[in-house]
Amino acid sequence: MGLNSEITNVKDGILKSDAVILPGVGSFSNAMSTLIKLDLVSVLRDVVLSSKPFMGICLGMHLLMSESYEFGHHKGLGLVNGTVLRFDGNTGSSGKRFKVPHVGWNKIYTVKNESHENKWNNSVLCGIDDGSFMYFVHSYMTKPENEDVQLSVTNYGDIEFCSSFQYGNLFACQFHPERSGPQGLRIYDNFAKMISGNFKDE
Amino acid sequence: MKTVRIIPRLDVKGPNLVKGINLEGLRVLGKPWNFARYYYENGADELIFMDVVASLYGRNSLVDIIKKTSKEIFIPLTVGGGLRTIDDIHNVLRAGADKVSLNTAVINNPELIKIAAEKFGSSTIMISIEAIKKNDNNYEAYTNNGRERTGIDAIQWAKQAEKLGAGEIMVTSIDNEGTGRGFGIELTSMIAKYVSIPVIACGGAGTVDHVLDVIEKGGADAVSVASILHYNFVAQYGMGDDFSAEGNIEFLKRGKAGFSKIQDTTIDEIKKNLVYHGISCRFDEQNLEHQEAG
């Protein structure tokens, strides 16, 4: 991708960076208490409130929300209003059972806004085809309070959930772009262009 | 509708990709990363790497292969074979793996599933169940790549693994593995009905219809295939590098005599057959796009 990256858990490293990616594997409460222990909560908030490109992936997306119901009820970073909820594999209008976790490839679709413009063009999803396959591994999903922040939605079982959202400089996705083949790599490519300021030139 | 995954499985011994029959008689087929890259570029949904002799010798040679592979392959990578401890799991995840496959270690210590799932997340922990049908029609789980009996009922074990926090279960019918006679449909369906986490069927594919069968009749959420793809790759590209290092290269010298049950094919052909029968998989646009670009 041509990006110099560093895996860090220290304040200075994060503050000095041009952009931040918050990935995530693990459980919500563990991750939050680790962020609190490392004194990174306010740092991440500052980054998101600045104009630095920020990407949250999977659990990194969940952590941005105000609250989660993963193994109890926990407060998140609260940068985006909304909750994190578990898939209920047993209910639904069709009464059909579906497997949780949701593991595998699934399609992401655009959310049309009132003016029918494609919001993807101004985001890291620029150039990706509507209905592209991305790789998902999760049991929980985000539900932003303000549906306008949603960039893409995905269907699983008989549920439609938010598979990515954009809020200012903050992009977050439920799928794993780094494991989604050429289409996923395009997201990092766009992210790199945003960091270097070349995104709008295309 | 569920989207089924096709997952090439790469058995690795030392520096080489190998393949056996009933998990035995390993033959060298080539270098693992050549196969891995080819499968990635041709529609694989994930890859599984198994160090097939690791648990026997207490070694794991996969870390270097994973480091190399994960830099150029952007689909999920699962690594298994000889992983014993939380540190072992941590090492392969750090090297670039997305998931680990555990068998021997968790049969010996089921609590390891719970500890690992809490530390790395359930989705990272795949439990591999390798089983043989007993005279009483129950299935018994085996460890050490099909070498050791455990006395544990495979179906009960699947349920326990799920309760302890496993994210997926990979099911191998040892009697079918490597034979090309088709998957262990009965074993797969018994486990798929009994657990609510995804089940990956492994071992036995000889034709594209076998893959279809284990999805339709076995209830598999994903299918792992090896010989059926490897033999196609070898037929097309030969053995490539030098294999003097270690292993039995008789297979490569002799051609595939004795493997007439396996009709080698490609991921594309497998998926075409699934789509034709109304099963959803990641197939359409991206593959076509890739062929044009390729």
Please judge whether A133 and B286 are an interchain contact, meaning their C-beta atoms are less than 8 angstroms apart: yes
Read off φ and ψ for residue B58, nearest 5 degrees: 65, 40
Which of A59, A103, A128 has the most B C-beta neighbours within 10 Å, making it the best mutation to test the interface with B?
A103
Contact A24, A62 (CB under 8 A): yes
A186 touches chain B (CB under 8 A): no
* Mean pLDDT of the region A44-60: 91
Which residues on B lie below 8 Å from A106 (Cβ)? 3
Please judge whether A99 and B45 are an interchain contact, meaning their C-beta atoms are less than 8 angstroms apart: no
Read off φ and ψ for residue B192, nearest 5 degrees: -60, -30
* Mean pLDDT of the region B213-230: 96
Read off φ and ψ for residue A103, nearest 5 degrees: -120, 125
Nearest CB neighbour to A137, from listed B40, B123, B222: B123
Q: What is residue B249's predicted lDDT score, i.e. its pLDDT?
A: 54
ipTM of the shown complex? 0.86
Domain A11-201 has CATH 3.30.360.10: no
b/e map of B149-181 (b: 16 or more CB within 10 Å)? ebebbbbebbebbbebbbbbbbbbbbbbbbbbb
Q: How far apart are CA A121 and CA A69, in angstroms?
A: 33
Instruction: Give per-residue pLDDT as tens, A140-178.
Output: 999 999 999 999 999 998 899 999 999 989 999 999 999
Instruction: Give per-residue pLDDT as tens, B4-41.
Output: 999 999 999 888 899 887 777 788 888 899 999 999 99
In the numeric block, the tokens 């870390």 are attached to B63
Q: What is residue B294's predicted lDDT score, i.e. its pLDDT?
A: 37
Nearest CB neighbour to A101, from listed B76, B167, B290: B167
What is the residue range of B73's domain?
A: 3-293
Which residues on A lie below 8 Å from B75 (Cβ)? 135, 179-181
Instruction: Give the pLDDT band (50/70/90) at residue B218.
Output: very high
Query: Is A116 one of the catalytic residues?
Result: no
Domain count, chain B: 1
Instruction: Give the pLDDT band (50/70/90) at residue A84.
Output: very high
Any residues with CB less than 8 A from the CB of A130 and at least 6 apart, and which?
Answer: A109, A110, A118, A120
Give the amino acid at A109: Y
Contact B9, B32 (CB under 8 A): no
Contact B50, B19 (CB under 8 A): no
Q: What is residue B245's predicted lDDT score, i.e. its pLDDT?
A: 45
| B133 class by beta-carbon count within 10 Å (0-12 exposed, 13-18 middle, 19+ buried) | middle
B175 touches chain A (CB under 8 A): no
Show me where the domains of chain A are located: 11-201
- Nearest Cα to B224, choosing from B16, B1, B4, B2? B4
Q: How crowded is residue A167: how many other Cβ atoms within 10 Å of its Cβ?
A: 18
Q: Which of B21-25, B157-161, B243-247 has the lowest mean pLDDT?
A: B243-247
Q: Which helix (H) or strand (E) holds B24?
A: strand B24-30
Query: Is B11 one of the catalytic residues?
Result: yes
> Does residue A184 surpass a pLDDT of 90?
yes
Q: What is residue B229's predicted lDDT score, i.e. its pLDDT?
A: 95
- CATH number of the domain where residue B106 is located: 3.20.20.70
